[in-house]
Structure 1
Amino acid sequence: MAPVWVQCLVLFHLFAIFIWTWPQPSANLNREPVTMADRMQRARDQLLAANNRLRYESDFRYYLQVTGFWQYWDMFAPNPSNTDSWLTAEIEYADGQVVPVEYPRIKHMPIPQKYVNERYRKFTERLHPIDQSYKWAQFAYRMAYLNPRADGAVPTKVRLFKHFRIYPKAFQKEPVAQDEQFFELIVDPQVYGTWGSK
């Protein structure tokens, strides 16, 4: 039998994971209930809203975010992700040189790094959709800043690409990855120059 402190830690961990993996309340939470089904949905949404407050406004979030244990409901249901995706960039210079660079990819990291850098995969999955387009320019500047040329030349353009493939079913051939350019940045040398202070 494990010591009491270990049992308490396991119970706390399970409780924290349970809270974090509940789904979000419905967008209709504040709508006036009309039917009995609406009333049932309203009661469920009130419970989920209370869970949201506990998840985002209590100290639980520090434990889960720092350790990397948090997961959203969509990891478990209704359909876990079946897509392998990663990001690359092409950094172009005034002399015509184009340098391809890859955003850190979990697949290429040793096991200890995979655990610490799992957030890279999360960021990759969430950057591409159009509702995240406000992040694209800053991400392009970051890709250029993290991959400087030896002579200190300032890039003129940065193009962002998403690569993805659907995982095959068992015993089926792995599909070819699809590539898509989703953003091109014309680099402002003054903005690029400020990245050294970030």
Structure 2
Amino acid sequence: MRIIRLPNVKTIRAEVIRDRLPPGTRRIVCLSCGNATRALEGVIKGVPVIKLDSESPVSARRELSAQEIQTYFGPESFNATSGYLPLDLTAEIGQRLMAYIPELLEGDRLYVPCGSGETIAALSNYIPLARMTAVSALYPPIEAMGPLYRWLAANMKTVNVGRVNSVAEALRLAARGKGFALCWE
């Protein structure tokens, strides 16, 4: 298995959100394991990020739709929860990621770490789902309940390696030495 090391995908994602944030947005709401909210806070200045993650005093028992975010947090709120971004933002994330991925040859498979499924959805604008395998440890488990993850699981090859110590270990278990594996810090 060949490893493709990417910059932090959550940072790339936060940069796309920053660059395309709708005018008048007064707050960003994000249900996350913590990685997405930390990236948003590091990249976006001047708009507060409301964290619904394991480190914050406020949490959610399930993911919230954009409509629910606006109902609970106000109409000027942007839902930055992974797996809930508008399609044009997801496609732009994929375009930025493709700058780091070499051309896949016939028979090559891309093994992609998968939480909400957003990274795979972003890449699917450029690489057919049939050429990718979603590698998941399903942590945190709430992500498996999201609609994007459920759709991907029904339409592509997925491998759940259970709880592992690292993304690299999960990818090694899934790929068994074949294809490319995406990895980021």
What is the TM-score of this pair, normalised by structure 2? 0.26
Q: Which has the higher helix share?
A: 1
TM-score, normalised by the number of residues in structure 1: 0.25
Quick one: higher RCO (CA 8 Å, sep 6+), 1 or 2?
2
